[in-house]
Amino acid sequence: FEPKPCEPEMLALFHDKEYLEILKKTSSGEFELAMLKKGIGTDDCPLVPDIYSYCLNVVGATLEGVNLVLDGGFQRAFNPIGGFHHGYRGHAEGFCYINDVGVAIEYLLKLGKRVAFIDIDAHHCNGLEDAFKANDQVLNISLHETGDTLYPKTGYESDYGEGKGQGFSINVPLLGKTDDEVYWEAFYRIVPPAVKAFAPDFVIAEVGADTM
């Protein structure tokens, strides 16, 4: 399936409108100090021509996948350019100008769905977790290299959500060079039982290739 760009208002399901206005200016080649405060113009998130259109395409592809599963009779869909889990509601970070997963989850929540997010990228999903850490309709599970040795220096086992969402964030920080046997053991002891207990309507997985 060839996805189409999403409508601009879909980005606002997750992102602050002030941030989106600055992101639009970035695309046109403008620069102002306010961009740096929003994480744009850094080594991770440099000024990129037409980045706003790129973001609309990424989110459009992720939402296309969601809708194929919701309405099209498919069990799963894969967006090879998706999974920008470091993006915060109000700033860019870690090569992530937007958070397409966050948009998709907000979209599903509006439809009354409970969502399990399983993240096996080597880096912790800091932007995604921060956005939903107080929400008991989102189960967030992340297996990643410990923040002691790897960006973004977050995602410790003591980070398990807050308020209504307490217990709905599960972090499994692993030592660098963790081998297959240990990873397999950690995943299967934690992820399937937690997902079964939560009983989600929809599962989104971030399968970053750097896990390999």
| Residues in the chain, total | 212
Q: How far apart are CA 52 and CA 194, in angstroms?
A: 36
For the chain, give percent helix, strand, coil, nearest 5. Answer: 40, 10, 50
Q: How far apart are CA 171 and CA 36, in angstroms?
A: 30
Q: Does residue 124 have an active-site annotation?
A: no
The C-alpha R_g of the chain, in whole angstroms, comes to 17
Task: Map residue 58 onto helix, strand or coil.
Answer: helix
| Of the candidates 106, 155, 115, the residue with the CA atom closest to the CA atom of residue 138 | 115
Instruction: Tokens 């080649």: give the residue.
Output: 29
Q: How far apart are CA 165 and CA 132, in angstroms?
A: 8
User: Catalytic pick from 15, 86, 123, 124?
Assistant: 86
The 3-class secondary structure across 77-107, one letter per residue, is CCCCCCCCCCCCCCCCECCECCCHHHHHHHH
Q: What are phi and psi of 22, to 5 degrees?
A: -70, -35
Instruction: Tokens 């998130």: give the residue.
Output: 45
Q: Catalytic amino acids?
A: 86
